Amino acid sequence: MFDRLKAMLIKEFIQVFRDPRMRIVLFVLPVLQTVIFGYAVNMDVRNIPTAILDRDNSSESRQLAATMTSSGYFRITNHISSDNEAQALLDRGTVRVVLNVEHGFSQRLQRGETVPLQVLLDGSDSNTAGVIMGYLARLTTDYNISIRSDYSLRHLGQTLSIGQVELASRAWFNSNLASPPFYVPAVITNILFIITMLLSSMAIVREKELGTIEQVIVTPIRKGEFILGKTLPFVLIGYIDVILISLVGMLVFDVPLRGSLWLLFFATTLFLMSSLGIGLLISTVSQTQQQAMMSAFFIIFPTMLLSGFAFPIENMPQPVQWLTLLNPLRFYLVIIRGIFLKGIGIAVLWQQLAALTLLGVSLLGIAVLRFRKTLG
Amino acid sequence: MIIQLSSLTRCFGSLTAVDNLTLSIPEGELFGLVGSDGAGKTTTMRMLAGVLDYTSGEAKILGCNSRDLTVVQGEIGYMSQRFGLYPDLTVAENIRFYADLFDVPAAERIARTRRLLTFSGMAPFTDRHAGRLSGGMKQKLGLCCALIHTPKLLLLDEPTNGVDPVSRRDFWRILNDLRKEGVTIVVATAYLDEAERCDRVGLLHNGRLLACDTPQNLTKLVKSNQRAPSLEDVFVELMGEQELAVPQPSIPQPAEQQPGAEASSPAVSLEQISKHFGNFIAVNGISLTVPKGQIFGFLGPNGAGKSTTIRMLCGILSPTSGKGSVAGFDITAEPERIKENIGYMSQRFSLYEDLTVEENIAFYAGIYRLAPDKRSERTEWVIRMAGLTERRSSRANELSGGWRQRLALGCAILHEPSIIFLDEPTSGVDPLSRRRFWDLIRTLARGGVTVFVTTHYMDEAEYCDRLALIYRGELVAVGTPDELKKERAVDGVLPSLEDVFIGLIEEHDRT
């Protein structure tokens, strides 16, 4: 009954595992990539290299600098004495922030005036610049409070007590607001997508290129048996990679797995239908491995960038947001982050699961329909 | 001496591609380097052209060490197997490009181009894009490009591989004219009939020079008392000595064939079948019938439509119009039924290179759903038939041409089909393996199997019960080899099949 499928699977597994490069690509690279991305893909802004142009050179200005360094966000790397130096440092990217303390800073403060503090920011990385401005605003407020209490202590002999609001925030799902718990699940989705889509498309096109497909399609093998034989190995490899990357995430980066493992596997199966479907579709339109590779790359980039892995979909223009509804990665990402970080289940994720099912069935269906047991 | 090689050796890793080659070629000689795929012809030619370094020994070309030929580069014309023609440039533009590479002065270039184009018969096609030329014309253009700087030494690597007999004959006419002008020519070829036209021939096998002499002297080496031994007999005999270690395969008879849908119907029948690819008509209204148990030869130059026809018969390409049946099943309506009853071997011996001999067989045994007891029996049969007993765990990519070919045949007939289709089964295989292969085919045919085979080797056509000649998608002639020869006999003298073939094609071109 399953003779032919068995023969296909045995053949495919021998071919995949006999090639040492393939073993590395399939199992070692995903782990390495997770480790590297886990450390590197980090949106935290800390230890910002900062230059200070202190024309006042008073205890107040030094206290200001101390407030900044003790916060842990800023690191005073350069003490400079001219605007030209500031320009040069920002041009070279040596520092991201230049603080300009004007002459008379302390005197004006003591006179009770409002003194401007000039800050020059490297705005080429708009995201980081925004974060830095937030920090600076907070530090300035802290500094103001401290000079005010100093003032009242010195002049009134007592501390000023007025009511104030204190922020008591708690970040749910990722209490330290650490990057890895957010990115490791995204790395799983991206690696799984690339490996299964690219390799399944190449696997069939390779047979076309070598001419072996010609020999296979003159046998009574059924279309379904051939396609299953070509895709099932990648389903299995996909599961293994999901497990490997999850383990690295949990053990190395303390990513919590709060939800159900079974739901994770179920969602992965749904997602694999889409990625293998795209792979098969590419293989029906490509004649050489090079063509398949090119087509795959043109699909990989938009799919990854418009999945919400780094850039929130809500911020995209409305037409692009509609376009992302065709992106299986988008739904899988919500599911996998939900399972890992929030521990939510089908009750919450049913819409994403349904969307994945719909996309998977249609992509795979189109691919199977397009696949012909003929040449030309 | 134009070329002087002493103990020239080239290794690629553990493989010795050229082994201790000592040879000298005097000025004005037409030297043929003969051998099968992987014998070391291309490696030798590349070393002669100075594009590949040797491992040990010495090679002197026009008095220079082949490691540095800068001084004499302008005297050498080299045409590699895939001569670098630019498909988007016209014939004239290609020639001009090579003329500029060799710094040929403008006046000289124009004169020489004109001469070469007339000489090669390419003059009418000056403005055609190289990519749109036929295989034979591409080879001639390649030759023109290699000759534009009037070299003293011309190195040609399999210049006529896959070129039809008419173009091959033209090509050799040009080579003969060049020799008369005193150009030294070294030509590597797998065609032994071409080698007979050379002044001297070197037989290369597994990197070693087995013999080197004039064709006449070489044929004297044949010990068996054949009346007129050909170079092929020489080759087979010399190589046979080398390969004594290889056990001769015993060929078991295939089991009783299951009858098709109708026992009395012909194995193959085609009625006005055509196949168009866009504007291009690959096959144009072919009708033919092949009775059961025949060896049917399907001849024609490259691009004539042979493979397209075979693919339609195997149900992997659907015809644009016309009807056909194979083993009693309609080729458009029941292609999957056909596939259960046929064996097909494509010209590339499509084996899985990274799988071993046994794994390849096991794969096809599974695909054809052989019963478990039958499976081991047929596996043994294929391994013995292909002579692979000692190599059953070798990977397919480690096998040489002849073994691969027999293994591919074995995989294609594992399920004992009643009809087998072979698409150029012997291209690139050495003469000894070719003979062994045809012995196998004849044994299968005696067992009642119908064999439908395409080839461009005329000597192989003689082995067929019946022949069909196809040219530019049309059927030009059908008949037994004798019938075809008799039709074109002059004064009772029967022409060779090659002459018949060339005659028919020329006639077709005129109409």
For residue range B113-134, list pLDDT tens digits in order: 988 888 777 888 888 888 777 7
Q: A215–B411: do the CB atoms touch at under 8 Å?
A: yes
Token output for A181: 């718990």
In tens, the pLDDT along B377-401 reads: 999 999 988 888 888 888 888 887 7
Whether B268-510 and B27-46+70-236 are alike in CATH topology: the answer is: yes
Per-residue pLDDT for B487 more than 50? yes
Beta-bridged to residue B452, according to DSSP, are B296, B421
Per CATH, the architecture of B268-510 is what?
A: 3-Layer(aba) Sandwich (3.40)
| Mean pLDDT (chain A, rounded) | 87
Weakest mean pLDDT among A39-43, A216-220, B93-97, B454-458 = A39-43
| Contacts with A211 from chain B: Cβ below 8 Å | 346, 348, 350
pLDDT band at B245 (very low <50, low <70, confident <90, very high): very low
What ipTM was assigned to the predicted interfaces of this complex?
A: 0.73
- Quote the pLDDT of residue B385: 85
In tens, the pLDDT along B262-284 reads: 456 788 999 999 999 888 888 99
Token output for B501: 């073939």
What is chain B's length?
511
What residue spans define the domains of chain B?
27-46+70-236, 268-510
- Quote the pLDDT of residue B398: 80
Token output for B359: 């794994």
| Contacts with A18 from chain B: Cβ below 8 Å | 354
More confident residue, A139 or B221: A139
Give the nearest chain A residue to B350 (CA atoms). Answer: A212
Strand positions, DSSP E, B232-267: none
| Contacts with B317 from chain A: Cβ below 8 Å | 374-376
Per-residue pLDDT for A332 more than 90? yes
**The one-letter amino acid at A165:** V
Nearest to B316 among A6, A210, A217 (CB): A217
Whether the CB-CB separation of B252 and B410 falls below 8 Å is answered with: no
Residue with tokens 């030329």: B133
- Quote the pLDDT of residue A351: 93
- Quote the pLDDT of residue B242: 53
- Quote the pLDDT of residue B257: 46
Q: Could you give the CA distance from residue A260 to residue B30 in angstroms, rounded to a whole number?
A: 78
CA distance A347 to chain B (A): 44
Q: Which of A8, A207, A219, A375 best tests the B interface by mutation, with the highest count of B CBs <10 A?
A: A219
Assign domain B27-46+70-236 to its CATH superfamily: P-loop containing nucleotide triphosphate hydrolases (3.40.50.300)
CB atoms within 10 A of CB B264: 8
The DSSP bridge pattern shows strands A97-101 and A74-80 to be unpaired
Q: Could you give the CA distance from residue B110 to residue B8 in angstroms, rounded to a whole number?
A: 40
What residue spans define the domains of chain A?
5-9+17-41+178-370, 48-156
Domain spanning A48-156: which CATH class is it, in words? alpha beta
Q: A3–B339: do the CB atoms touch at under 8 Å?
A: no
Q: Could you give the CA distance from residue B392 to residue B381 in angstroms, rounded to a whole number?
A: 12
Q: Which of B367, B404, B411 best tests the A interface by mutation, with the highest count of A CBs <10 A?
A: B367
| Contacts with B350 from chain A: Cβ below 8 Å | 210-215
**The one-letter amino acid at A105:** F
CB of A150 less than 8 A from some CB of B:
no
In tens, the pLDDT along B409-446 reads: 999 999 999 999 998 888 767 777 888 888 889 888 88
- Quote the pLDDT of residue A1: 62
pLDDT band at B247 (very low <50, low <70, confident <90, very high): very low
Instruction: Give the number of beta-carbon pairs within 8 Å between A and B.
Output: 85
| Three-state DSSP state, B402 | helix
pLDDT band at B450 (very low <50, low <70, confident <90, very high): very high
Token output for B201: 């021939």
| Three-state DSSP state, B191 | coil
Q: Could you give the CA distance from residue B258 to residue B273 in angstroms, rounded to a whole number?
A: 27
**The one-letter amino acid at A347:** A
CA distance A23 to chain B (A): 14
Whether the CB-CB separation of B11 and B17 falls below 8 Å is answered with: yes
Per-residue pLDDT for A376 more than 60? no
| Three-state DSSP state, B212 | strand
In tens, the pLDDT along A258-305 reads: 889 999 999 999 999 999 999 999 998 888 888 999 999 999 999 998
CA distance B325 to chain A (A): 15
Would you tell me which residues 214-273 of chain A have a C-beta closer than 8 angstroms to some C-beta of chain B?
214-221
Nearest to B317 among A8, A219, A376 (CB): A376
Per-residue pLDDT for B221 more than 80? no
In tens, the pLDDT along A211-261 reads: 888 888 888 888 889 999 999 999 999 999 999 999 998 998 888 888 899
pLDDT band at B244 (very low <50, low <70, confident <90, very high): very low
In terms of Cβ atoms closer than 10 Å to its own Cβ (0-12, 13-18, 19+), residue B392 is middle
More confident residue, B485 or B244: B485
Nearest to A376 among B277, B344, B352 (CB): B277
Q: Could you give the CA distance from residue A133 to residue A150 in angstroms, rounded to a whole number?
A: 25
Q: B366–A6: do the CB atoms touch at under 8 Å?
A: yes
Q: Which of A21, A213, A218, A371 best tests the B interface by mutation, with the highest count of B CBs <10 A?
A: A218
Q: A211–B339: do the CB atoms touch at under 8 Å?
A: no
Helical pair A180-210 and A261-285, crossing angle rounded to 10 deg = 40
Give the nearest chain B residue to A13 (CA atoms). Answer: B355
- Quote the pLDDT of residue B224: 63
CA dihedral of residues A104, A109, A115, A119 (deg, nearest 10): 70
- Quote the pLDDT of residue A254: 86
CA distance B362 to chain A (A): 7
Q: Which of A10, A214, A230 best tests the B interface by mutation, with the highest count of B CBs <10 A?
A: A214
pLDDT band at A358 (very low <50, low <70, confident <90, very high): very high
CB of A22 less than 8 A from some CB of B:
no
Instruction: Convert chain A into a string of H (helix), E (strand) and C (coil).
Output: CCHHHHHHHHHHHHHHHHCHHHHHHHHHHHHHHHHHHHHHCCCCCCCEEEEEEECCCCHHHHHHHHHHHHCCCEEEEEEECCHHHHHHHHHHCCCCEEEEECCCHHHHHHCCCCCCCEEEECCCCHHHHHHHHHHHHHHHHHHHHHHHHHHHHHHHCCCCCCCCCCCCCCCCCCCCCCCHHHHHHHHHHHHHHHHHHHHHHHHHHHHHHHCHHHHHHCCCCCHHHHHHHHHHHHHHHHHHHHHHHHHHHHHHHCCCCCCCHHHHHHHHHHHHHHHHHHHHHHHHHCCCHHHHHHHHHHHHHHHHHCCCCCCCHHHCCHHHHHHHHHCHHHHHHHHHHHHHHHCCCHHHHHHHHHHHHHHHHHHHHHHHHHCCCCCC
What is the sign, positive or negative, of the torsion defined by CA atoms of B194, B196, B201, B203? positive
| Contacts with B355 from chain A: Cβ below 8 Å | 11, 14-15
Per-residue pLDDT for B246 more than 70? no
Q: B350–A214: do the CB atoms touch at under 8 Å?
A: yes
Q: Could you give the CA distance from residue A192 to residue A30 in angstroms, rounded to a whole number?
A: 9
Q: Could you give the CA distance from residue B358 to residue B177 in angstroms, rounded to a whole number?
A: 52
Q: How many helices (DSSP H) and strands (DSSP E) are in chain B? A: 17, 20
Q: Could you give the CA distance from residue B64 to residue B215 in angstroms, rounded to a whole number?
A: 29
